[in-house]
Amino acid sequence: MIRNEIAYLSLGSNRGRRAENIRRAISQLRDQPDLRIKAISSLYETSPVGFKQPLYLNAALKIKTSLPPEKLLECLKKIEEDLGRHPGPRWRARTIDLDIIFYGRRLLRARNLVVPHPQFRFRRFVLIPLLELSPRLKDPKTKKPIGQILANLTSPDQKVRLKK
């Protein structure tokens, strides 16, 4: 058993009932014995990065967990699978995306897990909800405050608005 670590997760959905998918993912996380949810950000509606697809809903979570990072990733993948599975003969595309953004101040570079998440510094839809949760949070790799990373971003096409 390792000591509890604070971790930050990013959640996103752009298929089906997006808010419901995010709520269900949070509720499944709440049922995990080795994990406690400390804070949940607002929901944000965000334009997709890359190819054309429906708008996303995004949120961030602050958790405390005794799961080591690989076990936490396994847990997230299981929830993604559970929620992405629909009745009927076919599996539809994933309805929820769960990422580990920070795990304490650790820097991890395994084949299947990179922490801090390799893309988070370029993504407004991750930075804005994170900033809402913990305005003084710093990137453990570059040591820069996330507010500064956000302020220096140059990707004006990435729209993020608070979902009422």
Regarding 123 and contact with ligand AMP (CB under 6 A), the answer is no
Q: Half-sphere exposure (CA, 13 Å, Cβ side) for 133?
A: 25
94 given a catalytic annotation:
yes
| Options 25, 35, 59, 99; binder of ligand AMP; rule CB under 6 A | 99
Stretch that binds ligand AMP, among 16-24, 93-101, 121-129, 151-159 (CB under 6 A): 93-101
Shortest CA distance to 93 belongs to which of 84, 103, 101, 102? 84
139 given a catalytic annotation:
no
- Are residues 49 and 12 in contact, defined by beta-carbon separation less than 8 angstroms? no
Please give the residues from 44 up to 83 whose contact with ligand AMP meets the rule CB under 6 A. 73
Stretch that binds ligand AMP, among 39-47, 48-56, 106-114, 156-164 (CB under 6 A): 106-114
- CB 153 to ligand AMP: min, Å: 19
Tokens of 141: 């790799």
| Options 21, 43, 75, 97; binder of ligand AMP; rule CB under 6 A | 97
Regarding 115 and contact with ligand AMP (CB under 6 A), the answer is yes
| Options 66, 113, 122, 147; binder of ligand AMP; rule CB under 6 A | 113
3-state secondary structure (DSSP) of residue 70: helix
Q: CB-based contacts of 34: which residues, under 8 Å, 6+ apart?
A: 65, 66, 67, 71
One-letter identity of residue 107? L
Q: Cα angle vertex 145, ends 141, 149, to 5°?
A: 85
Q: Report CA-CA distances (Å) from 77 to 28, 99, 121.
A: 12, 9, 22
3 given a catalytic annotation:
no
Dist. CA 133–CA 127, nearest whole Å:
10
| Options 96, 100, 127, 149; binder of ligand AMP; rule CB under 6 A | 100
| Options 114, 153, 159, 161; binder of ligand AMP; rule CB under 6 A | 114
Q: Which residues bind ligand AMP (CB under 6 A)?
A: 73, 97, 99-100, 112-115, 117
